[in-house]
Every structure is written in C-alpha cells, then in structure tokens.
Structure 1
Amino acid sequence: MKKWMLLGILFVAIMIGIVVNVYLNAVEPVSVAEKKAVEIAAKETYLSDFTDFKLYSGEETYYVMTGKNAGQEDVYVWINEKNGDLITKVAKNGITQKEALTKLYQEKQPDEIIAIRLGMSRIQMTDRPAWEIYYRKNSGTINYYYVDFETGEKLRAIDNL
C-alpha cells in the first residue's frame, strides 16, 4: 500500500512539473516580446511606467501597450514588430472602448462581444490605430469591426466568418 502511495505522489509531482514546464515555454515568447517593446518605447519616446502589454496580429504584428507621459496621462503605444516603427497617441485624445462599442451597436446587432482591444487597421496602405471589436451574431458567425481610434469612424467590418 505504501508503495502505491509513493508511486501516486511521484506521478502527480511529475505531471505538475510537466504542466509548469509547458506553461513557462508557452508564455516565454510573449514575455520576450514585452521586454523588447518596453525597451524600444523607453528609448524612442518620453514615456515611462508601461503596462497592459498586448500582442496584436492583424495584417502585421504590433506590440500595443500603455505608458505615462510627463503629465502622468495615459499614452497608447503601437510598435510594428517587423520594422520597429512606433506610433503614440494620448488616450484622452481618442475614443474610448465604450465609444467604440456604441459605434458598433449603432450599425450591427451583436449577440456577444468576445473581445475589444487596440490594434491597427490598414486602410489604403496606411496603418491606422483602431479599436478591434471581435463579436458573435445569433447565427453563430464570428465578426470583426474596426473603429478609428482618433476619429471614431468605422474603418471596416469583416462579417460572417
């Protein structure tokens, strides 16, 4: 009986070790990308206190995060992963998540909002900071709706995926 208990404990310990290893390997690329993005933003801008790092994969991959300027205002930062080009926008000078959702609800009737995040939308070969809203309709289809961060205008919609 003792032998079975020891084997059981050993098995559980090994499984926990495997799960922890898989998890650490899965999050490592995101951690490396975040470190790289913070280094670029700290070097290229006047910002500090970076938070809310996200990877955005659209036409190209962008690192998106929030920093603080000298006046302690929130500033959004978009960094193109491929070429390091950087765009900054003071948060209060753009529309909010809630305003982007209002724009969506004026035009569409989503049943479930899956995610809303800052991203980048390419319109006529120009990358424009945008809110990307990912939602589901009653038909079960997945849809994307992009709202310009600065103007609040609809940039594009991708329906019925």
Structure 2
Amino acid sequence: MKKVIIGLVLTLSVIIVGAIYVYQTAHAPYAQAEQETITFLKERTDLNDVKDFYWYNGEKTTFTVRGSNESDEEKYYIVKPDGGTVITLDVAETLSEQNARKMATDATDLKRILDAKIGLMEDTPVWEVTYKNENDRLGYYIIDLKTGEWMRSVDNI
C-alpha cells in the first residue's frame, strides 16, 4: 500500500510540474511583449505607472498600455510594433472597458464575454470584445474607442 501511495504522489508531482512548465512556456511570449512594450514606452513617453496591458491581433498586431503619467492623468498608449509609432489617448475621452462590454452584451446574443482589448483597425483605435454566443461559437464585437460607435461584428466562428 505504501508503494501505491508513493507512486501516486510521484505521478501527481510530475503532472503538476509538467502543467506549470507548459503554462509558463505558453505565457512567456505575452510576458515578454508586455515587458518590452512597457520599457519602450517608459523610455519614449511620460508613462509612469502601468495599470493594464492589451495585445491585439487584428489587421496588424498592436500593444496597448493603460497607465498614468507623472501628473496622474490616465492614458492609453497604443504601440505599432512594425514602426514603433505611439498613439496616446486620454482615458477620460474614450469609451470605458465596462461600457464596451455592456454594449456588446446589449447588441448580441452572447453567453459570456471572454476578453476585451484595445487595438487599431484601419488606424482607428477600437475596443474588440471577444465572446462566446449561445451556440458556443466565437464572436467579436468591435467598437470605436473614441466615439463608442459600433464598427463591425463577426459571429459564429
């Protein structure tokens, strides 16, 4: 009986260590992109304190950081990795994540929201709300970050 318990403990230990390794390996590109983007922004902008990081893969990949500057003004810093261009927006002048999620919920037959992130679509800052619909299929609801206007929906993917 002792050998069985030791065998089970060893097996569970290997499974747990393996799961941790797989998670860290899968998460490494995200963590690296986040760190590199924050470092880039702190060197080139007035970013002082980081609150959120968004990785958007639409037409082109963009990285967005929500943070504050030394004057405690909250801003979005949207970075285009292909040229290093930074677009800075005042958070107070944009649609909040909570409102973007509510708009997607009100406009679609969704079962649950998976994620909301900021990116660029045709050089327009947008919220992309990712959700699962009633059929358990993936959908996207895209809203203009500045005006709150609906731009595009993609459903049943």
What is the TM-score normalised by the length of structure 1? Answer: 0.80
Whole-angstrom distance in 2 between the partners of 1:159 and 1:18:
35
Between the aligned residues of both structures, percent identity stands at 27
Counterpart residue identity of residue 76, structure 2: Y
Distance 2:2 2:133 in 1: 56
Kept after mapping to 1: 8 A contact 2:55/2:117: no
The Cα offsets for residues 31-72 of structure 1, whole Å up to 9 and x where unpaired, read as: 111110001110111111112222111111111221102221
What stretches of structure 1 of length at least 5 have no aligned partner? none
1:120 matched residue in structure 2: 119
Q: CA deviation at 1:113?
A: 4.2
Q: Residues 116 and 131 of structure 1 are in contact (CA less than 8 Å); yes or no, is this contact kept in structure 2?
A: no
Match of 1:87, SS?
A: strand
Deviation at 1:77, TM superposition (A): 1.6
Task: Figure out how many residues of one structure are paired with residues of the other and give that number.
Answer: 157
Indicate the RMSD between aligned Cα atoms, in angstroms.
2.4
Q: Provide the C-alpha distance between the structure 1 equivalents of 2:5 and 2:104, rounded to a whole number of angstroms.
A: 57
Q: Does 1:91 align with 2:87?
A: no
Alignment of 1:11-160 (within 5 A): 11-101=11-101, 103-104=103-104, 108-123=107-122, 127-138=123-134, 141-160=137-156
Preserved CA contact (<8 Å) 2:139 2:155: yes
Unaligned runs of 5+ in 2: none
SS at match of 2:32: helix
Q: Distance in 2 between matches of 1:105 and 1:2?
A: 54
Shift of 1:7: 2.8
Q: Provide the rounded CA distance (Å) in 2 between the counterparts of 1:103 and 1:10.
A: 49
Q: Please state how far the C-alpha of 1:104 moved relative to its aligned partner.
A: 4.5
- In structure 2, what is the equivalent of residue 2 of structure 1? 2
- CA separation in 2, counterparts of 1:16 and 1:135? 30
Aligned partners of 1:113, 1:27: CA distance in 2, in Å? 23
